[in-house]
Amino acid sequence: MKRSMKFLAKLVLIIALIGGVFWLKEKQAIKTPFQQSVKNVTDSSQLQGQFPVAANPQTTDFKWTYAKKNYELNETLYGSANDYYGAQSKQFEYQGDLPADWKEKYFAMFLRVAPGDAAIANLAEDIKQAGLKNNLSHDQIAELVLSFVQAIPYDDAKAKLILAGDSSAQVNYPYETLYSDKGVCSDKSFLADLLLHDLGYGTALFVYDSENHMAVAVQCPAKDSSYGSGYCYAETTAVGEKIGMIPDLNAQNNQAQGVQKLDYFSNSQGQFDVKKLGPVGIFEKTSGQLYSGVAATMQTSQQIETLGGWITDARGQLIAQNAKINADRATLSGMDKNMQKFSKAKDYKNYNELVPQYNNLINALQKEIISYNAQVNAYNQKVKNYNNLVASF
């Protein structure tokens, strides 16, 4: 009697995976290393020499955006003034033992303005008038100043020299930063400090030795302040960073990684190499008008941070789940090829033994894909919520 031939049916699975691209926000900025030397000096707290007569004019067109509105100022700067500041000492000079407050004095050097130099004061007033023309409030004018400094191009080449320990990279005085229209975190923080101070705001400098980073800070209500200091962190190296928000840094060039919109999920996108800011030193504290707009910013910032943490964790889980799905698909493909070989050879025994395994795996995979797609949908909804919060700033 002939043995009956029966091929068990294979289930057919259509795999529909949801894809996209997800960029983790990175967190950037740079502080020039402190330089000290023992020298005999008469008074290192004062700028040396007389401020020069204006010569070699250069007009710079500063353009930036604040609250979705474009701003533009044409400022005339002078090569003679730039050379004057460039010739000033950029080392902390002392006699005898290194003073305990040497860092305070060192940073104060770069906040000095020569008698007769009105460039920073005039610029501060021009920014203020541009704000008043657009009916900006007291708090918004502080934000306008910060957005102006943020828009000055980041000096990526100088930043990399600093990170490499190259002593040729020097701190710039604020006039030099304006004249060259570029700077790293220290250059831009000193400039922002002077502009805000000239407009009457209380200011300070936040210094992070371990990360080679500096930021300016604006006096604000103590309950809302950064580190309980009475001052709110203000990042100068990333466009769009709000007062009160403390960013991560790009490990490659120390530029702050501002809050950015995210794309939707894809397991092909890698993460940025970022570092977080560590212990802070607070220097050059001054008292003045308070910035009070930080409370609303911090509420939204906390929501963004919470969502960002969920998104980061979920992305890792989805990547792992996607890898398992792909591995199971490869296993199914191998099983299918074997069954085709058994069928061609009329090896019914091995074929029929393999079919239940194939069908069990395909059923399990089908359930896993349904779960995976549901999780990707949930992930993308969180990304949408995250982007809406970022856009609300």
As a whole number of Å, the end-to-end CA separation of the chain is 82
Cβ partners under 8 Å of residue 218, min gap 6: 142, 196, 201, 202, 203, 231, 232, 234, 243, 291
357 and 302 within one domain:
no
| pLDDT given at position 307 | 85
Q: Which long-range contacts (CB under 8 A, 24 or more apart) does 333-339 make?
A: 335/361, 336/10, 339/10
Q: What is the mean pLDDT of the chain?
A: 83
Q: Which residue has the tokens 């910032």?
A: 301
Q: 65 is in which domain, residue-wise?
A: 36-313
The DSSP code for 49 is S
Determine, yes or no, domain membership for 226. Answer: yes
47 and 155 within one domain:
yes
296 and 377 within one domain:
no
Confidence band for 252, pLDDT divided at 50, 70 and 90: confident
Determine, yes or no, domain membership for 205. Answer: yes
Determine, yes or no, domain membership for 29. Answer: no
Give the tens place of pLDDT for each residue, 215-237: 999 999 999 999 999 999 999 99
Determine, yes or no, domain membership for 339. Answer: yes
Give the tens place of pLDDT for each residue, 45-97: 678 999 999 999 999 999 999 999 999 999 999 999 999 999 998 888 888 88
Determine, yes or no, domain membership for 353. Answer: yes
Determine, yes or no, domain membership for 16. Answer: no
> pTM to 2 decimals?
0.71
Give the tens place of pLDDT for each residue, 289-321: 999 988 877 777 778 778 888 888 888 898 889
Last residue of a domain, one of 262, 291, 313: 313
Percent of the residues in the chain that have a pLDDT greater than 90, as a whole number: 47
